[in-house]
Amino acid sequence: MNQKIIELFENWAKESIISVEKLPPSGSYREYFRLKSENKTAIATQNFDKKENIAFIELTKHFFAKGFSVPELYATDIDNNIYLQQDLENLSLFDFLTFSRKNSDDFPAEVLEMYQKTIQKLILIQLFGGENLDFSLCYPREAFDKQSIMWDLNYFKYYFLKFSKIPFDEQLLENDFHTFCDFLLKTGQNYFLYRDFQSRNILIFQNEPYFIDYQGGRKGSLFYDLASLLYDSIADIPQKVRNELTEFYIQELQKFISVNKQDFYLYFDGYILIRLLQAMGAFGFRGMYEKKEIFLQSIPFALQTLDNWLKNNQLAIEIPELKRTLWLLVENENLRISKNVLVVSIQSFSYRKGIPEIENEDKGGFVFDCRCLPNPGRDPELSVFTGKHPKIQEFFEKQIEIQEFLNSVYSLVNQAITNYQKRNKLRLSISFGCTGGKHRSVFCAEKTFSYIKKYFSVSANLKHCEIE
């Protein structure tokens, strides 16, 4: 980790760092760290795109001053491409949805209520977030204008359509792109457009939704962000619930401005489509081009949503080549089949009894020696507990050596899982050993299991050889 991040945190906190946790990468090239001292915690971001940093910092200051639900900005170092913000913890709206749902057709009342809260707060940012805002600071453009829309459409064309090997007439498709752009830009464009308003960019903190990752925000239409939220492929919201939440959005919006419902739905259909195409471009770029499996797994959901859109929506414009091409996509069975799921087996063991036999056919994986770590087993008051006990967990979380060790483990695990999924391998073994197999190895196995379950689409299982 960059030493400048440590200096920035300690200058702000007036305390020494006691733990550092590197957070997993997402769809961007930014790096995130959770830093803790005795009494304070913060999320540090390192991003070498200076203009994007400035956009996020200035938007955060602007929104926080208006009382919007965004993280507080603690400290910045623009020259070194780093900044600190409030730690809103780890529970995203997507996690909340996933944990609360019992099956694909169920949408619990508490989740619906959280989406309604999110919509109410979104409307405030859309209507009032642009007041006195210097849009020239927005990144990469001041407005979601024709050039921005064409960028999204070409992103879809070059990183999804061409990778999918779907035949199309490029000139006719280009003509349809321009017709589609002109249609979208007939709506009001003087609102704040968040740009990436999806369930992973909304954190649930103290039972309230908070917004992050709005550095791509700019001036634009009301419809785009609502489409991003409700037609988020990974959330897979039932259409009935989407319709209900759309009606809720209109009711809430009418508290501030007049709404013609017929025009609203006419243009909303178009913004659903542009958001779907932008997302599919991202899935193609991150999944097909960069070979990140988690993005490939979103493609079947996106195609199902697109299929429903094609069957149930009618735009007031003629875009025949684009529609013909989209029908070919949703009818392509190869794109709609998810790949085999990687099984990751995690275990703790005692070196006194030897390294357990790896049970997968390749005999491959990792064995991590935890005997180099601080040992609570030497404390008579702690030795009676296992690594699953809160007292042992509290002991380890105060040890910076543990976080450094786990960060190294996470880095190797990231690389292995990504590579194994790319190669369609089905098994990966991860073992942690310590002297007795009850404290250090158990704690590290538990933390790694939680990390993998949270950030990867795999089947993970956990076994403690000495305490089970």
d(C-alpha 191, C-alpha 418), whole Å: 39
Instruction: Say whether both 107 and 124 belong to one domain.
Output: yes
- Per-residue confidence (pLDDT) for residue 293, from 0 to 100: 62
Domain count for the chain, please give it: 3
153 and 226 housed in the same domain: yes
20/130 same-domain check: no
The whole-number pLDDT of residue 104 equals 43
Angle between helix axes 109-128 and 239-253 (nearest 10 degrees) is 40
Please give the structure tokens belonging to residue 45.
């971001």
CA distance 190 to 218: 10
Residue after which a domain boundary falls, among 85, 110, 135? 85
Q: How many of the other CB atoms lie within 10 Å of CB of 138?
A: 25
Are residues 315 and 166 located together in one domain of the fold? Answer: yes
Cα Rg of the chain (Å, integer): 24
3-state class of 262 per DSSP? helix
pLDDT of residue 103: 45
Residues of the chain under the 70 pLDDT cut: 1, 25-27, 102-105, 291-294, 336-341, 359-363
Render pLDDT for 334-346 as a digit per residue (tens, 0 to 9): 776 554 567 888 9
The sheet carrying 365-369 orders its strands as: 365-369, 427-434, 343-350, 459-464
Residue 303 CB burial class (10 angstroms; 0-12, 13-18, ≥19): buried
One domain, residues 149 and 105: yes
> pTM here?
0.74
Rounded to the nearest integer, the mean pLDDT of the chain is 91
Domain finish residue from 69, 85, 101: 85
Q: Do residues 210 and 88 lie in contact, with contact meaning Cβ atoms separated by under 8 Å?
A: yes
Residue 214 confidence (pLDDT):
96
Residue 343: the pLDDT is 81
Residues 110 and 80 in one domain: no
pLDDT of residue 362: 59
> In whole angstroms, how far apart are CA 37 and each of 46, 380, 393, 395?
19, 27, 17, 14
Phi then psi dihedrals of residue 346, to 5 deg: -115, 135
- Indicate if 332 and 347 belong to the same structural domain: no
Question: What range does the domain containing 403 cover?
Answer: 343-464
| Confidence at residue 194, expressed as pLDDT on a 0 to 100 scale | 97
**Whose structure tokens read 């932008």?**
278
Cα separation, 211 vs 197, in Å, equals 8
Q: Say if residues 406 and 450 touch (Cβ distance below 8 Å).
A: no
Please check whether residues 331 and 347 belong to one and the same domain. no
d(CA 228, CA 237): 12
